Copies of this chain bind each other. A is one copy, B any other.
Amino acid sequence: MIKAGIMGATGYAGEMLAWILYKHPEVEVDFYNSHNYANFQLNQLYGNYNGFIEDKCVDLEEAMARIDNIDVLFIALPNGKSFELTKKALAQGVKVIDLGADYRLNSKDEYEEWYGIKHELPPLLENAVYGITELKRDEIQKSNLIANPGCYPTATILGLAPLLKNKLIETSSVIVDAKSGVSGAGRSANISSLFTECNESIKAYGVATHRHTPEIEQELSKLAEEKLFISFTPHLVPMNRGILSTCYSNLKKSLSTEEILEIYKDFYKDSYFVKITDGIPETRWVKGSNLCHISARVDPRTNRVIVISAIDNLVKGAAGQAVQNMNVMFGFKETAGLDFIAMAP
């Protein structure tokens, strides 16, 4: 049993970490931290934990003090709030998995431009591993600092990796039209996240300006071995959870849907959590699980391939992948604590 600390345990990603780790066979949670709800019990905010997780949340000061006791620190805080914690944890040999954006971009300048925050630990940008598990197991295993990918990037990079790695598409032609449930906006009291403002509507937002763009481009460029730019448009969908990423690109040569699906199945043959489906993915089939469903269709009329991938934004898109990365880092079974499947309906 290792010991973990969770920073930001009352936000949706942090709370999802608590949910997963509560049942994890190899981990004991040492502390749950909360800024707004320090001294509240977790079940006072999340009634599902009544009788289960009734621990009191600790404030930042106490969390800092407890870093000594733990083996791994999960940070689910707003961007720019991880620096001091990460520094201390790494100094004491505690592995860090950051669910925010602070270590995702390799370039300090790019981070500061897209996030408008001064980066206080630029040297770490070289050490941190972008933790999209299926594509980086070896690096993750050796790392002590994981930049856990964003939700949109996870769905999108897993969806496009086989095409780019195999150099099947024109790199300038990639368009990503993504759709997310409302939990992606977090548990903050914003009018735009009210039930009455989200329900019965769909909208695009952050058109051509969303912060997940550079990390998607960074990782896709590595796969393609050339710098590429994409168009990325996120949409808000009236549902709690789920991301669907619909990705368009032009094939370099003519390939059938069947051939594409074969390539995908082969690419992910050793990845338990990625399922290449014959049917078109729907977010409900992965909801509440760490799975990623991917399928593709070739449109011979335009010679485009349309790849569709679905994940749960809070699990594979956040807490689940974080635990998956932890499993790899500590040499646990990759699926430990994560082998639950979606419940329907």
Shortest CB-to-CB span from A293 to chain B, Å, is 7
CB A307 to nearest CB in B, in angstroms, measures 10
Report A212-258 residues with CB < 8 Å from chain B CB. Answer: 229-231, 233, 235, 237-242, 244, 246, 248
Report A335 CB to chain B, min CB distance, Å: 12
The answer to whether A282 and B203 have CB atoms under 8 Å apart is: yes
Of B187, B195, B204, B277, which is within 8 A of A280 by CB? B204
**A194 at interface, CB cutoff 8 A:** yes
- The quantity of this chain's copies bound in the complex is 4
Q: Is B208 a contact partner of A301 (Cβ separation < 8 A)?
A: yes
Most B-side CB within 10 Å, residue of A196, A240, A341: A196
Q: CA A159 – CA B50 in complex, angstroms? A: 17
Q: A47's closest neighbor in chain B, by CB?
A: B285
Is A342 close to B, CB under 8 A?
Answer: yes
Contact A194 B196 (CB under 8 A): no
Q: How far is it, in angstroms, between the C-alpha of A280 and the C-alpha of B202 when the chains are bound? A: 11
A 276-296 binary contact with B (CB < 8 Å = 1; else 0): 010111111111110101000
A240 to B202, CA, bound (A): 11
From A181, A277, A286, A289, residue with most partner B Cβ within 10 Å: A181
Tell me if A208 and B299 are in contact (CB < 8 A).
yes
How far is it, in angstroms, between the C-alpha of A99 and the C-alpha of B185 when the chains are bound? 33
Contact of A343 among B19, B205, B282 (CB under 8 A): B19
Residues of chain B within 8 A (CB-CB) of A183 are 196, 345
Contact, CB under 8 Å: A196 / B196: no
- Specify which of B16, B187, B287 is in contact with A194 (CB 8 Å cutoff): B187
Chain A positions 322-345 with a Cβ under 8 Å from a chain B Cβ: 340-345
Asked whether A63 is an interface residue with its Cβ less than 8 Å from the other chain, the reply is no
* Given known contacts A207-B297, A229-B301, A345-B199, A50 and B275 CB-to-CB distance under 8 angstroms: yes
For A284, list chain B residues within 8 Å (CB). Answer: 47-48, 200-201, 203
Contact (Cβ within 8 A) B190 A195: no
A48 close to B344 (CB less than 8 A): yes
What's the Cα separation between A52 and B286 when bound, in Å?
Answer: 12
Taken together as a complex, chains A and B put the C-alpha atoms of A344 and B345 apart, in Å, by 15
In chain A between 7 and 23, which residues have their CB closer than 8 angstroms to a CB of chain B?
12, 15-16, 19, 22-23
Q: Which B residue sits closest to A16, measured CB to CB?
A: B343
* 13 interchain pairs, CB-CB under 8 A: A15-B344, A47-B285, A48-B287, A183-B345, A188-B191, A193-B194, A201-B242, A204-B306, A205-B280, A207-B308, A208-B297, A235-B246, A288-B288
Spell out A's residues near B (CB within 8 Å).
12, 15-16, 19, 22-23, 46-52, 172, 175, 177, 179, 181-183, 187-191, 193-205, 207-208, 229-231, 233, 235, 237-242, 244, 246, 248, 275, 277, 279-289, 291, 293, 297-299, 301-302, 304, 306, 308, 340-345
